[in-house]
Structure 1
């Protein structure tokens, strides 16, 4: 059974590997320069331990002052009493937040600690960046859309670089014995970017990721954040005068352009009825991954939604990466 709604048949999706013709010539140099800038900074992070009713875990609220002074709220959950353990950084979806401690207990059950931070401007965190363009369309996709060096997601990627740097530093709240990144939708795109930008990422999970293969996504997505860009042209620039500038900006944060540099084990997932992050964009990312060990789970009847069946797959994959046994899943 293999339904497809508005995209290629599954057999074609499995082979879909578009040429990276839209990747800027200075893409690698640009992000190498941004990583160097972040390495010169020391993150100011405040952690406040809180009482929690589950005695097997310790929970702390975080305030992460990012590279431009933006204070980002976060949460840290770890198995009680440990000073060294596997670490996972979880990225949340569009309009989401760093989440609740209860969201991460499945990972602490595997013996891992979890960091999660609000994406700037989302959750309960502000965004101190100033953007030179306005728009009649609401949402974060258009903030700075005409300037790739001060685009909203360029700034969010800088945050992620600094966060990964801090979580592996001596100032972090636990010493990582291994390091993974994960997320769904917006979080899936951020996980791919983090795996491509971060040093020493041991494994990556990315489900129905957003910010992937804009060239196709903007043509076929019918709902969700991609439509902010589509509607920007409709209401702000109906004849596409700024199309080249917008395309250039998005090319620097397109997570597809990081995929061939990702070599760690990877698990991805796709719903074949997803018209928010179309299946072809997800398969483009998967097929470009440089990883030898990689899997993609396909769910024919699923749209862009939570998937409890896949959560079991995520647990099994992560347990394997942590060298756990089957009893850790109980």
Structure 2
């Protein structure tokens, strides 16, 4: 089943666990220092409740002022009338947005509240960071690509650290009895990073994660955001003189490098015909998870696309976590 276009056969994928030879020696130290820096910041939050035609839920528009003043736009949806309940933080895909309240109604039906914020520079959120390089290639992958301290995704990870700290604080909009993180593609990579960087994350759902195992992805991906890096070298640096600095920057945000510190229950998914986030990069992340309760759902004929069958499995997985 499934043609595994351009990647390993499924039997080999299930065993694929590459060594993390590209992870920087100061990786854990760097991210521990970022978490400490975020603890010193109290974000400004603006909340506006909106009328909604489903009386069983409450919907609010959010503006989350992050560590550098960037106002991140988003929504919050929860079961009506509750002050404490399980919480999910949902991360969107590349070029996406926080979505509409209707996209999340299945979670309040389980008694779960959902935060979803546009990441910086995407959706309705601006990006107040200034980056030290230009590029002929459009997209966010290259903003600050030569400096891991001020790279686009480094700044985004700082955002999510601050968000998770706030969600666990007394100032949050609901007291979380449990906390899960989830997303697909870019959101899947962010969910893995959040599971490692967040405080007391109880479970993670990550579908075909992007920003995962760059060493492999840059060799075999045929479309999607990884190609921005390839085009950067083709158009800006045709002889690869900046290859080492670029790889160093990416090594700090590669979600694979977080996976061996993730111990919470995990559900992942992969499409075997996905040429945007190749299956081997997804299995590399899954196989490095230290979770004793983990599962990966394999869809042989799916590419990089939403999957209603898997949405049902996610609902069952989260429901199972709430019963523990």
Q: TM-score, normalised by structure 1?
A: 0.98
The Cα of 1:137 is off from its aligned counterpart by 0.2
Cross-structure match for 1:10: 10
Cross-structure match for 2:162: 162
The Cα of 1:298 is off from its aligned counterpart by 0.2
The Cα of 1:2 is off from its aligned counterpart by 3.5
In 2, distance between residues paired with 1:116 and 1:53?
Answer: 20
> Deviation digits for residues 120-160 of structure 1, max 9, x if unmatched?
00001100000010000000000000000000000000000
> Deviation digits for residues 193-216 of structure 1, max 9, x if unmatched?
000100100000000000000000
| C-alpha contact (below 8 Å) 2:2/2:273 kept by paired residues | no
Paired residues for 1:148-297 under 5 Å: 148-297=148-297
Equivalent position SS for 2:6: coil
Gaps of 5+ in 2: none
In 1, distance between residues paired with 2:99 and 2:9?
Answer: 36
Paired residues for 1:86-97 under 5 Å: 86-97=86-97
In 2, distance between residues paired with 1:134 and 1:37?
Answer: 28
Equivalent position SS for 1:121: coil
Q: 2:129 aligned with 1:129, yes or no? A: yes
Cross-structure match for 1:328: none
Cross-structure match for 2:22: 22
> Deviation digits for residues 52-75 of structure 1, max 9, x if unmatched?
000000000000000000000010
In 1, distance between residues paired with 2:108 and 2:204?
Answer: 17
The Cα of 1:3 is off from its aligned counterpart by 2.3
In 1, distance between residues paired with 2:312 and 2:74?
Answer: 25
Equivalent position SS for 2:286: helix
In 1, distance between residues paired with 2:234 and 2:298?
Answer: 34
Cross-structure match for 2:82: 82
In 2, distance between residues paired with 1:44 and 1:32?
Answer: 23
Gaps of 5+ in 1: 325-330
In 2, distance between residues paired with 1:4 and 1:256?
Answer: 21
Equivalent position SS for 2:123: coil
Equivalent position SS for 1:64: strand
The Cα of 1:270 is off from its aligned counterpart by 0.1
